[in-house]
Amino acid sequence: MTAIVGVLCRDGVLIGSDSASTSTTASGQMGIRTIETPAKKITVIDDRIIVSGTGEAGLHQRFCHEVDKFQQQSNFSAMHPIEAATQLARNAIIQFGQTGIQLGQIGYGALVAFHTQAGFNLCEFALNSFQPEFKSSDRWFAAMGSGQLLTDPFLGFLRKIFWPSSNQYAPSTKEGIFFTVWTLLHAIDVNPGGINAPIQLAVLTNDGTGARARILEYSEIAEHTTSVTAVEEYLKDYSRKLSGEVQSDAPSVPNLP
């Protein structure tokens, strides 16, 4: 089970996930969960591409291999994003087909973040069909995995509060990290099992020499976790004001890290 969140920001792109990997006795809906272990769910390839997947772990390994091979053999950054994503999907489908997996029955989907001359890109490769879909300024977030029923509504709630205008552009990377951390904490707190801490998060931004991807350190994520706790305490205090339990003004919401 997995919770994955991707955000296309105005100055970069990021992908976050939980860290739980669940083993089952068989694939598909009839599988019985046996154990849950920590797992690395985000892969950074050549400091240029971020990949996170949901579904069969073996297919994730094979897709990452295809992404790595493709970016080494092609002028990836000079390609049109749609051409690059189409080729990646084609290569992956051929790779999966070598072991008899049929199109439409691919038990794997992925979010991929990369940069081209057209800018930063967040592409979703759909579960089963593996067809690519790019996120844009009017739909700048994506969620995948078994936790999507928890993360999608929460992301929609955050968008309604902080980006109410339909023509308002995507958040900054700093804001995107905060809201991704908040969303994943929510999924970890309320899920019925199979989604667990710690949060993993990778960002792709321009470091002054070009677009570079990196996985955030635990301390960087912890700063945003602290901010989430502070915002939730602010809301709790406001609730107490509504009930008349306290008369003082609510504390100020802290600045983002």
Full DSSP string of the chain: ---EEEEEETTEEEEEE--EEEEESSSSTTPPEEEEEE---EEEETTTEEEEEEE-HHHHHHHHHHHHHHHHHS-GGGS-HHHHHHHHHHHHHHHHHTTTPPTT-B-EEEEEEEEETTEEEEEEE-TBT--EEE-BTTB-EEEESTTHHHHHHHHHHHHHHH--STTPPPPPHHHHHHHHHHHHHHHHHH-SSS--SSPEEEEEEE-SSSEEEEEPPHHHHHHHHHHHHHHHHHHHHHHHHHHTS--SPPPPPPPP-
Q: What does pTM read for this prediction?
A: 0.91
d(CA 130, CA 153): 23
Least confident of 86-95, 124-133, 138-147, 162-171: 162-171
Which two three-digit tokens encode residue 257?
């890290």
pLDDT mean over 90-114: 97
Q: What is the mean pLDDT of the chain?
A: 91
pLDDT band at 163 (very low <50, low <70, confident <90, very high): confident
CA–CA dist 14, 121 (Å, integer): 10
How many other C-beta atoms can be found within 10 angstroms of the C-beta atom of residue 104?
A: 9
Identify whether the C-beta of residue 134 lies closer than 8 Å to the C-beta of residue 123.
Answer: yes
Contacts of 237 (CB under 8 A, 6+ apart): 246, 250, 251
The one-letter code for the residue type at 150 is L
Sort strands 200-206 and 141-144 into parallel, antiparallel or unpaired: unpaired
Which residue do the tokens 């570079």 mark? 212
Q: How confident is the model at residue 168, as a pLDDT? A: 60
Query: Predicted confidence band at 230 (pLDDT cuts at 50, 70, 90)?
Result: very high
Residue pair 141/121 in contact (Cβ under 8 Å)? The answer is no
- Alpha-carbon distance of 196 to 198, in angstroms, equals 7
What is the model's pLDDT at position 146? 93
pLDDT at 253 over 70: no
pLDDT number for residue 243: 78
Confidence of residue 246 (pLDDT cuts 50, 70, 90): low
Which of 23-27, 37-41, 112-116, 162-166 is most confident?
Answer: 112-116
| pLDDT tier at 193, thresholds 50, 70, 90 | confident
Alpha carbons 123 and 96: distance in angstroms, whole number: 19
pLDDT of residue 47: 96
> Which structure tokens are listed for 80?
């049109």
Report the alpha-carbon distance of residue 115 to residue 8 in Å, rounded. Answer: 11
Res 104: pLDDT? 95
Q: Residue 242: its pLDDT value, please?
A: 79
- Helix 81-97 / helix 57-73 crossing angle, nearest 10 deg: 130
Q: What is the pLDDT of residues 47-86, one digit of tens each?
A: 999 999 999 999 999 999 999 999 998 888 899 999 999 9
Q: What is the pLDDT of residues 6-57, one digit of tens each?
A: 999 999 999 999 999 877 776 555 567 788 888 999 999 999 999 999 999 9
